[in-house]
Amino acid sequence: YVFFCDKGYQDTDTVISSVTTKVKGIALTNTSDLGLRIWDAADYVIPAQEESSFFVLTNLIITPNQTQSCCAENPGPRSSCSTDQDCEKGLVNKHKTGMQTGRCIQFSASEKTCEVLAWCPLEKEANPPDPPLLAEAEKFTVLIKNGIHYPKFHFRKRNILPHVNSSYLSQCVFNRTTDPDCPIFRLGDIASEAGEDFQTMAVHGGVNLAAEPDLRSALGLCVTQGGVMGVQIRWDCDLDWPESWCVPTYTFRRLDNKDLKNNVTTGYNFRFAKYYKNERGQESRTLFKGYGIRFDIKVFGTGRKSSALPILLNLGASLGLLGT
């Protein structure tokens, strides 16, 4: 058992790995805020480079032409008011968007709120578009380049295998049956192999509210968009055999929680802005609340190779056990 089943004649080493990614794809949108616009990787991959992960935008709430000025705060427990006495000058509410000026002003025809010094107009408090603005992200592809090293055995390899050439890379997409060695993955395929629907995940964080209308009305804004997917690359290599036998295997799974009973702050979103100055030097910005899917790439593996030391140790332990 020790020598044949448990391979006690081999020494082991843990993999050391590096990962880089490159996402490609084009999407076309036509919105009232931005007009007709082409989105490429420089627009929807934020930031452009990360360590062993990448983030792809799938949806946006856009607030254009913001300037630093005074405006009515969005309604809420600390911002709704009747008179100036209800507003505290200098108050900054971490859940709101600016500093109160102490004035109570008209927010709408029927409601007053405290005036704030902020980037105005304030961000829209609305549900993201459905279908998602960048629904074509499902067709985007990512090239994952992974290099591994077993330092104990002086062994190096990468997931772009020796037989993979430039012409093959230019037209292949990973398929577990027909192209298991292709390092280019379609984002929609990653989600489907993990048992998720990409469009549902992009819009509702993985909860299919279209199929369950009762949940849509019951959960409302609690269900947010986006999520986190895991790409797992496993290198388990028996280095007593030819080097060509040491190849990676890919698996995919969802990493974030989509439990309906615990749906507070689910999904993945963040804010970013693009700043401008006019000819008079006045600064303005377009605010984006971005929703999307983060892909984390995890590399695991164990290398094994015959060595005299484990043979002697296991042989001595076996003889000691027999003597006992």
DSSP 8-state code for residue 319: H
Sign of CA dihedral 65, 67, 69, 70: positive
The annotation status of 231 as a binding-site residue, yes or no, is: no
Cα(324)–Cα(322) distance, rounded to whole angstroms?
5
The single-letter DSSP state of residue 58 is E
- The response to whether 23 counts as a known ligand-binding position is yes
Q: Tell me: is residue 264 an annotated ligand-binding position.
A: no
Cα dihedral 52, 57, 58, 61 in deg (nearest 10): 150
298 is in an annotated binding site: no
75 DSSP 8-state letter: P
Lookup result for tokens 């690359």: 233
Residues in contact with 318: Cβ distance below 8 Å, sequence separation at least 6, in sequence order: 2
Side chain identity at residue 197, one-letter code = D
Q: 250 forms bridges with which residues in the sheet?
A: 233
Ligand-binding annotation for 141, yes or no, is: yes
Which residues fall in the annotated binding site for ATP? Answer: 22-24, 141, 269-271, 289
Which residues fall in the annotated binding site? Answer: 22-24, 141, 269-271, 289
